[in-house]
């Protein structure tokens, strides 16, 4: 029970901090109840960083505003209709919400806000028992009407009420269950699992934006495997991201020891490990993680059997890129994310295509040009994609990537390859050829760009001569 005492010590220190102590004193003096609730209490017991400070109270929103106005640096009431008031107190952002007793209208599945009168009733309406813990202030008494503390000790995700009722009231809670298995490292109790299997179709009542946000939170956890596996096992993935469970049906000829589904999750894990190792100061890279998970989704559509039983997936990269764009657009990801993830999927095989012919300077320039600003992401994805257990093959592929990175660095020292442009711009082309704006200018520029990619910087005089040669040949044709 040592960790329990440690958790209470952490909560006591938090309650004594200037923002929380000021807030607690203000509500006490106003004769109102106040409790720290949900995630902060849960995370204190789990030894996780306590970030968001959420409070609950019996005071109604107007009364909350009256209480915090004298002590807040600033406050806002954007969530007022749902009973939530936000404030910044001594530099700390907090949210205070009136006890809730939600009911649902049965049509839109949106909650009808009903304020409650007791903290026990408020906690019973929350998603999982481990999130239904509260610390009353300033008394520092743990409030646990649903058995959340025991579930914390056992690592169990369980709903405070019957899971069929809880998930029926808010179907998004099913995806939250998936996410929490990865975020907290907990297991879902059997009754909740069965309820999700039975009620999965109710996700159709949830907006694509809310589903996207939960999927994003899952992928940004340190260890998303457990959540993704539950996502597939419950059938929710079939409704949200059907391309993922479809990978279970295929055998990857390049990774015969595992199917493409297992390979894709392993690539995601590899990508996360590479992120941590190579870019520890960066926030988790959602685009890279989506690219890792989805990089092979074109394989089921491109599988073909060659003589002798060999399996091929020709074109799975560009087919997968097209599928990626469609799926992420449907999930309402922003345009840049859709574009960048699809590009990673499209280019993830480029190393193998070039490596067979050898890395000429021209090939390195073209690879760099095609990857653009995503070059670092693409190289990480290509490394993550190496999951073979054949040590010799793995070493050979890793060496190929090392060699490519060295070649890129070498060319960077000799020339500008990160933003390759023709040696002459449009104005110069028109002046040299004595022509006005036209399609021919674009063709000339494309010719010079190809020269730049094949031969490197030419210099203005050589570029002029080659341009005139091309123009004369074009005129004679």
What pLDDT sits at residue 331? 97
Higher-confidence position of 2 and 214: 214
Q: Confirm if 354 and 363 have CB atoms less than 8 A apart.
A: yes
What pLDDT sits at residue 477? 65
The residue-averaged pLDDT of 271-284 equals 92
What pLDDT sits at residue 10? 86
pLDDT tens column, 38-57: 999 999 888 888 888 999 99
DSSP 284-332: P-HHHHHHHHHTTTTHHHH-EE-TTS-EE-TTHHHHHHHHHHHHHHHTT
What pLDDT sits at residue 111? 58
Higher-confidence position of 346 and 15: 346
User: At residue 37, does pLDDT exceed 80?
Assistant: yes
Higher-confidence position of 84 and 109: 84
What pLDDT sits at residue 2? 53
Q: Which residues contact 94 (CB under 8 A, 6 or more apart)?
A: 19, 23, 53, 54, 55, 86, 87, 88
What pLDDT sits at residue 113? 66
Q: Of 98-102, 149-153, 374-378, which range is least confident?
A: 98-102
Q: Confirm if 286 and 219 have CB atoms less than 8 A apart.
A: yes
φ, ψ at 145 (rounded to 5°) = -80, -10
**Helix 225-233, helix 208-219: angle, nearest 10:** 140
The residue-averaged pLDDT of 153-180 equals 95
What pLDDT sits at residue 256? 46
Report cis status (omega within 30 of 0) of the bond before 138: yes
Q: Confirm if 223 and 183 have CB atoms less than 8 A apart.
A: no
Q: Confirm if 101 and 115 have CB atoms less than 8 A apart.
A: yes
**Helix 286-294, helix 316-330: angle, nearest 10:** 130
- pLDDT confidence tier of residue 252, bands split at 50, 70 and 90: very low
- Sole residue written with tokens 């789990």: 46
What pLDDT sits at residue 406? 86
What pLDDT sits at residue 468? 84
User: At residue 383, does pLDDT exceed 70?
Assistant: yes
The residue-averaged pLDDT of 173-194 equals 97
The residue-averaged pLDDT of 174-182 equals 97
What pLDDT sits at residue 405? 87
pLDDT tens column, 279-296: 888 899 999 999 999 999
What pLDDT sits at residue 255? 42
Torsion of CA 424, 429, 431, 434, to 10 degrees: 160
What pLDDT sits at residue 230? 97
**Helix 361-371, helix 350-357: angle, nearest 10:** 170
What pLDDT sits at residue 110? 57
Residues in the chain: 477
Q: Confirm if 346 and 321 have CB atoms less than 8 A apart.
A: yes
- pLDDT confidence tier of residue 335, bands split at 50, 70 and 90: very high
Q: Confirm if 472 and 433 have CB atoms less than 8 A apart.
A: no
Q: Of 78-82, 203-207, 213-217, which range is least confident?
A: 78-82
Please provide the average confidence, as pLDDT, over all residues in the chain.
Answer: 88
The residue-averaged pLDDT of 432-458 equals 84
- pLDDT confidence tier of residue 257, bands split at 50, 70 and 90: very low
User: At residue 1, does pLDDT exceed 60?
Assistant: no
Return the top range by mean pLDDT from 16-20, 286-290, 403-407. 286-290
- pLDDT confidence tier of residue 249, bands split at 50, 70 and 90: low
- pLDDT confidence tier of residue 344, bands split at 50, 70 and 90: very high
Domains in the chain (CATH in brackets) are 2-154 (3.30.460.10), 155-240 (1.10.110.30), 252-414 (1.10.3210), 426-476 (no CATH)
What pLDDT sits at residue 472? 82
The residue-averaged pLDDT of 143-167 equals 95
Q: Are strands 304-305 and 311-312 parallel, antiparallel or unpaired?
A: antiparallel
The residue-averaged pLDDT of 83-109 equals 81
Q: How would you list the strands of the sheet with 53-57, edge to edge?
A: 74-76, 84-89, 92-98, 53-57, 34-37, 134-137, 141-143
Q: Give the pTM.
A: 0.85
């Amino acid at each position: 029970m040592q960790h329990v005492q440690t958790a209470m010590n952490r909560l006591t220190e938090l309650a004594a901090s200037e923002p929380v102590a000021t807030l607690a004193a203000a509500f006490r003096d106003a004769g109102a109840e106040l409790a720290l609730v949900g995630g902060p209490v849960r995370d204190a017991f789990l030894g996780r960083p306590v970030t968001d400070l959420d409070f609950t109270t019996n005071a109604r929103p107007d009364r909350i505003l009256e209480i915090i106005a004298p002590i807040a640096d600033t406050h806002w009431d954007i969530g007022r209709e749902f009973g939530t008031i936000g404030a910044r107190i001594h530099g700390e952002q907090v949210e205070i919400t009136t006890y809730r007793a939600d009911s649902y209208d049965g049509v839109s599945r949106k909650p009808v806000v009903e304020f409650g009168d007791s903290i026990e009733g408020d906690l019973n309406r929350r998603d999982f028992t481990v999130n239904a813990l509260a610390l009353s202030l300033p008394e520092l008494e743990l409030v646990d009407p649903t058995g959340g503390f025991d579930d914390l000790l056992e690592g169990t995700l369980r709903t405070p009420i019957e899971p069929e009722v809880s998930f029926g009231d808010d179907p998004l809670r099913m995806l939250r269950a998936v996410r929490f298995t990865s975020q907290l490292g907990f297991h879902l109790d059997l009754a909740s699992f069965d309820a999700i299997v039975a009620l999965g179709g109710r996700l159709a009542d949830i907006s694509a934006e809310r589903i996207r946000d939960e999927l994003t939170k899952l992928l940004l956890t340190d260890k998303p495997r457990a959540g993704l596996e539950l996502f597939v096992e419950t059938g929710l993935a079939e409704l949200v991201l059907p391309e993922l469970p479809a990978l279970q049906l295929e055998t990857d000829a390049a990774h015969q020891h595992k199917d493409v589904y297992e390979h894709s999750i392993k690539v995601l894990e590899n990508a996360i490990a590479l992120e941590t190792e190579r870019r520890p100061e960066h926030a988790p890279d959602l685009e890279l993680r989506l690219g890792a998970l989805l990089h092979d989704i074109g394989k089921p559509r491109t599988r073909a059997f060659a003589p002798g039983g060999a399996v091929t997936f020709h074109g799975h990269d560009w087919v997968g890129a097209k599928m990626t764009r469609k799926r992420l657009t449907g999930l309402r990801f922003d345009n840049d994310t859709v574009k960048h993830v699809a590009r990673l999927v499209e280019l993830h095989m480029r190393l193998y295509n070039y490596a067979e012919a050898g890395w000429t300077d021209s090939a390195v320039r073209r690879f760099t040009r095609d990857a653009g600003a995503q070059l670092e992401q693409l190289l990480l994805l290509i490394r993550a994609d190496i999951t073979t257990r054949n040590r010799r093959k793995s070493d050979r592929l890793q060496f190929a990537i090392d060699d490519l990175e060295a070649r890129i660095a070498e060319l960077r020292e000799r020339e500008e390859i990160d933003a390759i442009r023709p040696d002459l711009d449009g104005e110069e082309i028109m002046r040299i050829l004595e022509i006005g704006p036209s399609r021919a200018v674009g063709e000339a520029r494309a010719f010079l760009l190809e020269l730049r990619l094949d031969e490197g910087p030419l210099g203005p005089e050589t570029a002029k001569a080659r341009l005139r040669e091309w123009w004369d040949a074009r005129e004679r044709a």
